[in-house]
Amino acid sequence: MVQLINLTKNFGALTAVDNVSLHVQEGEVFGLLGPNGAGKTTIIRMLNTLMTPSSGSAAVGSHDVIKKCLDVKKLIGVVPQELNLDRDITGRQNLRIQGLLRKVPDLDNSIISALSWAGIEDVPMMW
C-alpha cells in the first residue's frame, strides 16, 4: 500500500531524509517514529504530495507520488497533530488554499459541496 525506495530529500546541503526504503502492506498498521529532526514530517509531506523527493521513489497504492499525484490524493488522508488552519482567514478561504495546494479539480464546486455535506454552507465563516 505504501512503498518507499531509496527516498531522499535534500534542502541545500542538509539531507532531511536519506535513502529510506520501506514497504507497508494493505491492512498493516505502521508507525513512523523518531526524534525531532529525523525526517518523519518530510516523509509524510512527500507521501501526501506536498513535497517532491530529491531522489528515490514513493508510491501510495500503485500510484507514484510524482507521476500520479492526483490518484495518490484520492487514497491518502493526513490528520495533523496540530491545527493547520489559518485563524486569520475564513473557513472558505482555508478550504481554497488547501484545495489549491492539492490541485483539487473544480475547486469552487468542491468547496460548496464540502460545506453543504457538513451542513454549514449558510453559516458565516468567521473561524
The string of pLDDT tens digits covering residues 85-124 is 777 888 888 889 888 888 888 999 999 998 888 888 777 6
* Cα within 13 Å of Cα(71), Cβ side: 10
Name the strand (E) or helix (H) holding 44. helix 40-47
Name the strand (E) or helix (H) holding 21. strand 14-24
- Amino acid, res. 65: V
Domain spanning 2-75: which CATH class is it, in words?
Answer: alpha beta
Q: Which residues pair with 11 in a beta bridge?
A: 14
The CATH 3.40.50.300 domain(s) of the chain lie at 2-75
What is the pLDDT, as a whole number, of residue 127?
43
pTM > 0.75: yes or no: no
